[in-house]
Copies of this chain bind each other. A is one copy, B any other.
Amino acid sequence: MTDFAATKARFHLPEGVIYLDGNSLGPLPKHASDRMAQVMQNEWGEMLITGWNKAGWMDQPTRVGDRIARLIGAQPGHVVMGDTLSIKVYQALASALKLNENRRVILSDSGNFPSDLYMAEGLISFLDQGHELRVVAPEEVEDAITDEVAVMMITEVDYRTGRMHDMKRLTAKAHQHGVVTVWDLAHTAGATPVDLAGADADFAVGCTYKYLNGGPGAPAFIYVNPRHANAALPALSGWLGHDAPFDFELNYRPAKGIQRMRVGTPPILALAALDAALDIWDMTDMAQVRAKSVALTERFIAGVEAACPMLRLASPRDAAQRGSQVSFAFPEGYAAIQALIARGVIGDFRAPDIMRFGFTPLYIDEGDVDAAVNIIADVMTNRLWDADAYKTRAKVT
């Protein structure tokens, strides 16, 4: 059994704060600062350049990748860390397009995180070969999978509403039509069980600063289905994706398997913080995390709806179709979120009118949910926000 009291005790949570924004930036694991100090002093400080071998820095991207693989239904050796999620989107998309180079349509949906769409736009415009980014409504994705589509690029859980796509069904239909899939797990990894191997997903990417608690701007990951791993060309073909980086050959030869998705020198300090955060994930079972997440979101929805009729649920009511967040639509949502933050309930706002709350069983429990509901009820019922002060749109992430 996952001991959620024990996992909660591993996080630094500021006094007086109920943190419902772990879907944007996870909190600090208490031991992460010590781990970082150790890596800085004992590895960087003492080993200097020899840390690349002695401290195992060079293998850190695959070693950490293997720890994440367990949480997303992948086998060891199929995930590697590096860069940012946007860069990994580009790399996956470029690889996927080359595997299907006679087609010209990239299918996505309007619930995708904009950066994924921007990366696709940049890629299309740079390629200049007549590709089309076809963005449909989330509920239209399934019907839009046709033989014309080269790549379906979808974020599994919608960053605004928490609506969840059915990875297995969409991937199966995609494959029936010869479509290569790219799944963005930004709001899934560490939030809901993922079964990349079971779904036969082609490529997947994700970030680690949300539910995985890796720290602000923590490195991204990429998964490549072993079926493609020796065929996919990464487009971003850096030296650490070379078959023999330290031979310093003048010509690129892709490494075998997932290694070819590496690009430049890995961010060792950032990986140290993430690695520490993953220690806590080793205490968990993902099915139990999901069960508790569902219980927390159900409890939150019931509490808020009972007390705040002015808030409209923007997330699916059916927990099976919902990630680990709950969103409510409210016209003065930005101002209301600021008032909640001032009262210690940290959620966030997403334009145009979404008040967003993340539920992460590793450090949020029923008592937190109830306390948050009480504060939200007070703030909303008594309109305790400064409407004038927040006429401008949100500037915070």
Contact = CB atoms under 8 A, between A and B. Distances in A.
Interface of A: 12, 14, 17, 19, 21, 24-25, 27-28, 32-33, 36-37, 40-41, 44-46, 48-53, 57-58, 82-87, 90, 94, 98, 110, 113-115, 117-119, 121-123, 125-129, 135, 207, 209, 215-220, 233-242, 246-252, 263-271, 273, 341, 346, 348, 350-351, 393-397
B118 A264 contact: no
Given A32-B40, A46-B14, A48-B19, A250 B86 contact: no
A88 B36 CA distance: 26
A34 B234 CA distance: 38
Copies in the complex: 2
A346 B235 contact: no
7 contacts: A28-B40, A28-B41, A118-B251, A217-B271, A218-B269, A246-B396, A247-B393
A135 B251 CA distance: 10
A241 B122 CA distance: 11
A132 to B, nearest CB: 14
Nearest to A36: B36
A49 to B, nearest CB: 5
A388 B216 CA distance: 47
Contacts of A119: 236-238
Nearest to A82: B84
Contact of A249 (B57, B94, B114, B266): B114
A395 B239 CA distance: 13
A220 B267 CA distance: 11
A237 B114 CA distance: 11
